[in-house]
Structure 1
Amino acid sequence: MARAALGALDAWPMHHFYHQLSRSSESPACVLLTTGAMNPPHRGHAQLLHQARERLEEAGYQVWAAWMSPSHDGYVGPKAKSKRTLHLSSKLRLHLAQLMVFEDPFVAVGHWEASVKGRWPDFPEVAEELQRTLKQLVDEQLEAVPALVKLLGESGWPRVFYACGTDHAERCGLYDGFGRFREQIGVVVVPRESELPEPERIPEVFVARPAPGEICSFSSTKIRESFHVAGIDEHAYLCNAICEAAADVMLRPSREQCLGRWLEFQSDFEKLRLSEPSCAP
């Protein structure tokens, strides 16, 4: 089976993890993961993880870190084509996600899923890969960092919770647990304010409160539909939905950004109707 070239620490940045580990309590520890096309990412994706964290802390866990994992181009490309919508490359989606969570002390961006060569891994494999990476980290560092033992469940594997929305939970049967995909991984379902989620019925599945206010209204579909629509201030909308740095990259990159990123994001800039000569001085 083909594997990504990225090393574990590159694929799953650990700076937030170690920061929270240094402040650990006696409570059992866990981490969070969410996946999705994120075409493009928006603040709601990161907030979903914060809502999930709040629910797990209410349940008695300390949550050391969370990762957003944008999906592989092999999945997003055909899906976007079938819906006749914009497909932003994984390189750009990862970059925008990193810009968005740059100042977030809890959420990092996972690269493993998007970097696998020759195929696209589905969400159960992504969760398993994160769990495997953490298990290796614990095995290698437990003697030097005894607090890592708090991350291990009764099975001896790190506690990983997969966070998702209600549509994904219903479609994949996740209200009944992650077990048919992979044992020892929990689930946190995060609804929108207008949704009525199913009740919690098994110990390893939690239902969080929805994010309050405007942030729960953001969607990748709405962002894609906002491009080049008369009467919409695209830059202001993207500043609010993602962040100002992401809005600049997507709509009016500086000459420095063009020179540094033009070849890397050329196909994306063309889809966004940007051309190299038009980059701002």
Structure 2
Amino acid sequence: MSEIHSKRTTDLSILYANLKLRSNSLEHVVLIKTGSMNPIHRSHVSNMVRTKKYLERACNFNVIGGYLSPTHDEYVHAKLRNELISGEHRIEMCRKAIEEAGQQHWLSVDMAECMAPEFVHLVNVTHSLQQFINQHLNLPKPVRVIYVAGLDLFNRCHGMGTLRKSPFGGVAVVYRLGQNNSVLKSTDAMNDPRVFYVCDNDDEMDTSSSESEDISSTLIRKRLKNNEDCDDLTFKSVLDHMKKVSSKDC
């Protein structure tokens, strides 16, 4: 598959800036998370932050950046039909969420997947990003690109095995205590050095809101249809943008 990333789709400035902040003796890592993000919700961002903190604390990695990559319209439309929010708006809402969360110093939106001519599988998206980053940074040791996945995606997606095989890749699995932990204990991935298990209860992040409960884009869309409050599920700037889009469609 041809590379889908370019300077037009993917901002590398955060990587260059963060490379200057910490010792080059640490292994440099970039995180990526794909998904419909229709719309983006609080856990999309908090799981990236949580993974960054875990990898830096437990693995002594230097996480120099992270990318939220909204999936191509073709896939989202096939899945959600008339509930699709166009890629243009999903990209903009991701930008707004990152800014409202105060994470723009290391998080960015990767537009490559959305702007591709057709749907691209998450494995190819991740490999393309890794190739693009390392071509341009050209460091003595390649930057490791780690895919951030929830436990359900990790268990059902065959592509996770491919991501684990890359010498400078890996998968960070974010899970919740009590979330079918038997799956974690029974899988051979427990002993895989390229799989990193991040418990979303095992850190100092504030989970006093519903972030400690299930959050989904589906729930946001359902609540909005019923004119119910969604402030606990996503960001005010995202909800404001959705209102603007909805008013234009009327």
In the superposition, the TM-score normalised over structure 1's length comes to 0.75
Give the Cα separation in 1 of the matches to 2:13 and 2:42.
20
Which residue in the other structure is 2:211 paired with?
Answer: 215
Q: Aligned letter for 1:215?
A: E
Give the Cα separation in 1 of the matches to 2:47 and 2:129.
18
- The runs of 4+ residues in structure 1 deviating greater than 6 Å are none
Identity %: 24
Q: What secondary structure is seen at the aligned counterpart in 1 of 2:68?
A: strand
Which residue in the other structure is 2:62 paired with?
Answer: 62
Q: Does 1:72 align with 2:69?
A: no
Question: Please, which runs of 5 or more residues in structure 2 have no aligned partner?
Answer: 202-206
Which residue in the other structure is 1:43 paired with?
Answer: 42
Q: Does 1:123 align with 2:122?
A: yes
Q: 2:154 aligns with which of 169, 191, 196?
A: 169
After superposition, where does 1:1-281 map in structure 2 within 5 Å?
8-25=6-23, 26-57=25-56, 58-81=58-81, 86-102=83-99, 103-104=102-103, 105-117=105-117, 119-139=118-138, 148-149=139-140, 152=141, 157-173=142-158, 178-179=163-164, 182=166, 184-195=168-179, 196=181, 198-199=184-185, 200-210=190-200, 212-213=207-208, 214-216=210-212, 217-229=214-226, 232-233=228-229, 237=230, 239-251=231-243, 253=244, 269=245, 272=246, 274-275=247-248
What is the CA distance between 1:245 and its match in structure 2? 2.0
Give the Cα separation in 2 of the matches to 1:86 and 1:54.
34
Number of paired residues?
232
Q: What secondary structure is seen at the aligned counterpart in 1 of 2:83?
A: coil
What is the CA distance between 1:240 and its match in structure 2? 3.8
Asked which structure has the greater CA Rg, the reply is 1
**What is the aligned-residue RMSD (CA, Å)?**
2.4
Check whether the contact 1:177–1:187 (CA below 8 A) recurs between aligned residues: no
Give the Cα separation in 2 of the matches to 1:113 and 1:175.
18
Change (3 A) 1:127 1:223: same
Change (3 A) 1:106 1:194: farther
Check whether the contact 1:178–1:186 (CA below 8 A) recurs between aligned residues: yes
Change (3 A) 1:175 1:248: closer
Q: What secondary structure is seen at the aligned counterpart in 2 of 1:97?
A: helix
Q: Aligned letter for 2:193?
A: P
